Structures are given as structure tokens and as C-alpha cells.
Amino acid sequence: MASHSPQLTQFPSLHSRKPVSSVPSTLRHDSGVDLSADIADTTKIVDTRDSIDTIDALDTIDEASTAANGRPTPYYHDQSASPLLSLPAELRNQIYTHLLVPCPTHLSALRRWTAQNHLSDYVLPALDIHPAILRTCRQAHTEGTDLLYGANTFSAHPALLTQLPFLVKASRPIVCPAVVGRIRRWHVKVRLDTDPRYSAEDVRRAFSDAEEVEVDVWQTQFGACDYRNLGLFEGVRGVGKAVVGGSVEAGFAGWLEGVMMGPVEGEGGGDGEASGEKRVSWGRGRGVYDLWVHGGR
């Protein structure tokens, strides 16, 4: 009996295109986070008038290639016909979240590895994020940019605060001022045993009205110094969620969190004397935290 081999269905669109290696790197699988190239510069790429409504990679594909039926391979010049953009907004947001927002647990672990320069960011494993989706067309850029910067927690610069922020790697900061204002979640490290390179007014302008601020306190030896540097955060107001942790006494951390989440026009905080002695009291209105009574070295 003669054996009949199964016939494979031929898809003309798969045979009429060039290999994947011929597609420009803007649409390749990007498992790294080159924020300076793939995220911050997307605004400049989308602002150019050439190839805004079509995928740039398609320009390099031979448009003269035809399918088996003799018809040209279709391209989505009208983005409303795109399978992605024809989905409901809720589903598109889920896709953007999967591509642009990494797992918070993984992100926190990577951030701990680079804390206090214990590990060079050049040897960090790749972060599962794909900002190249923002380069495909104007609508994808518009819909995904706010999610990329608004849903992720960015690390503040140790001296410039909200200037030159970064996601994980300090060597690849956000250099485009137009998108820094969209960041709503911040992680800032505060070292207690060195002089800060910013003022209380700088901190207030940087973090007031933020959606989330995580203050990670550390020092080379626990209990070696006071909370003078944390006093710079007393002027911050209107934070949706404030988290103070690390090398800090729990009572003072809870009090400072309440101050930062207080109303912008409230009376709380900001008037405690940042003295080197621990006899001082921190804040007014929302309660006084006496470092001499409660400790807090």
C-alpha cells in the first residue's frame, strides 16, 4: 500500500518575505533595556514624518515580491486595519503591560544587586522588557509611552534626583526631558553617613504629588548616625503611597510615611530641627516624633 505523506499548507506571506535577519534591529527581540536608545529616543523617531504610519522595517523588504496568486503581499498602510490596533483598548493595554512592565519582584532583585555599587550593572541579566514596540507606529507610541513611564518604578539619581533617572542600570539613564515628567513612581536611596548633594527644596519639588515614592535608607554601620538626611523629605506632600525602609527605626519610618502622604496644603511636618543630637523633635501637625524618647540612631 502506498503511503501518503501529509501535505503542508503553504502560506504565501511567509515565503514572500526576507529572512528575519534582514529586518532592522528596531524590531528585533530586545531583551535589554537600553533606555537611552530604545526608550528616550522614541519621541524623536516618531516625530519624523517618514514612515510614521507604517512599520519602518517594511521599507527594507522587497515590495515587488508577490504571493503564489500573483498579488503583492499586503502591508498595513492604514493602521486601523492592524490586528493589534483593531483589538479593544483593554486587550491592547494588557499587551503593552506584558511588553513594557517587568515583574516588580524581578526588578527589585536587580535593583538590590546594584545597590551601593556591590555589583556592576554591566553584568546584570537582561530585563524582560521590549520598548521597541513604541517604534512601530504613532498610535502604539502614544498608547504605550504613558504606560512605560507611569507604571514602572524608576530610580532617582543620587545627586540630581529626578534628573537622569534610570530603571535598573545607572549607566543608561533617561536623557530625554520630555518623558521624565511622565514618571510617577520613584525609588530613591538615602545614605545617612554622608552629606547629601541636594536640598530640602530640591526633594520637595522632585517628589511631591508623585504616585509612589520608596525611600531606601542605608549606612555603612547601623546606628552610627542620626536621621538628618531624612529630614530633607519632610517637605514632600501629596504622595499616593510612601514607603520608608532600610536602616531606619520603624517608628520614625512610619511617621515620615504619614507626613509624605499628607495633603499638599496641610500643616504637617517640615519644622523639626535636623540636629546632630537626638534630643530634637521632628514635625508638627501630624504628631511629634522625639528621637530622644524613641531612639533612631
Mark out the alpha helices in the chain (DSSP H runs): 12-15, 42-47, 89-100, 104-114, 138-151, 177-180, 200-207, 250-260, 291-294
Q: How far apart are CA 26 and CA 55, in angstroms?
A: 10
How would you write the pLDDT of the chain (297 residues) with one tens digit per residue? 555 544 444 434 433 444 333 333 333 333 334 444 444 444 443 333 332 233 333 333 333 334 445 565 555 566 777 888 889 999 999 999 999 998 887 777 777 766 555 556 666 677 788 999 998 888 999 999 999 999 999 999 989 999 999 988 888 899 988 899 999 999 999 999 899 999 999 999 999 999 999 999 988 877 778 899 999 999 999 999 999 999 899 999 999 999 999 998 654 444 444 333 333 344 433 444 555 455 544
Q: How many CB atoms lie within 10 A of CB 57?
A: 19
Contacts of 205 (CB under 8 A, 6+ apart): none
Average pLDDT, the chain: 71
Chain segment 192-208, per-residue pLDDT in tens: 989 999 999 999 999 99
Q: Is the pTM of this model over 0.85?
A: no
Print burial letters for 188-223: b (CB count within 10 Å at least 16), e (below 16).
Answer: bbbbbeeebebebebbbebbeebeebbbbbbbeeee
Question: Quick check: 256 and 242 in contact, CB under 8 A?
Answer: yes
Closest CA to 270 of 281, 140, 63: 281
- Of 280, 186, 275, whose CA–CA distance to 236 is shortest? 186
pLDDT number for residue 137 = 87
- CA distance linking residue 266 with residue 253, whole number of Å: 19
Encode pLDDT of 156-191 as tens digits.
Answer: 998 999 999 998 888 889 998 889 999 999 999 999
The single residue listed with the C-alpha cell 505523506 is 5
d(CA 140, CA 79): 10
Beta pairing, strands 281-282 & 289-290: antiparallel
Q: Where are the domains of the chain?
A: 27-63+76-153, 184-297
